[in-house]
Amino acid sequence: MDVLILIGSESDLDVAEEVTKLLDRFGVKHELHIASAHRSPDKVKNLVARADTEGVKVIIAGAGMSAHLAGV
């Protein structure tokens, strides 16, 4: 996987799906996960740690009105 996409909730899926379409068009391997920095911080930390060990090149973090995810 080259890109990890993290979004804070299902309400952010519309934007994330546009990102996945673009990555698919260019043949970029990616995974999309929903993980809230507020409700599931351990999941966020584990996903980021796994991305680091697996050599992920880019992490795209997105959240709606409560955008703390990118700071984690």
Assigned token pair, 51: 């991305």
Residue 59 binned pLDDT confidence (cut-offs 50, 70, 90): very high
- Hunting for tokens 């796994």 — which residue is that? 50
Q: Where are the strands (E) in the chain, listed by range?
A: 3-7, 30-34, 58-62
Q: Dihedrals φ, ψ of 58, to 5°?
A: -140, 140
Instruction: Compute and round to an integer the Cα radius of gyration of the chain.
Output: 12
Structural fold of domain 3-71: Rossmann fold (3.40.50)
- pLDDT tens-place string over residues 3-56: 999 998 898 899 999 999 999 999 999 999 999 888 899 999 999 999 999 999
State mean pLDDT over 53-68. 83
Contact 41, 72 (CB under 8 A): yes
* Position 1 pLDDT exceeds 80: yes
Q: Which residue has tokens 């709606």?
A: 64
pLDDT at 61 over 80: yes
Q: In the chain, where are the structural domains located? A: 3-71
The pLDDT of residue 19 is: 96
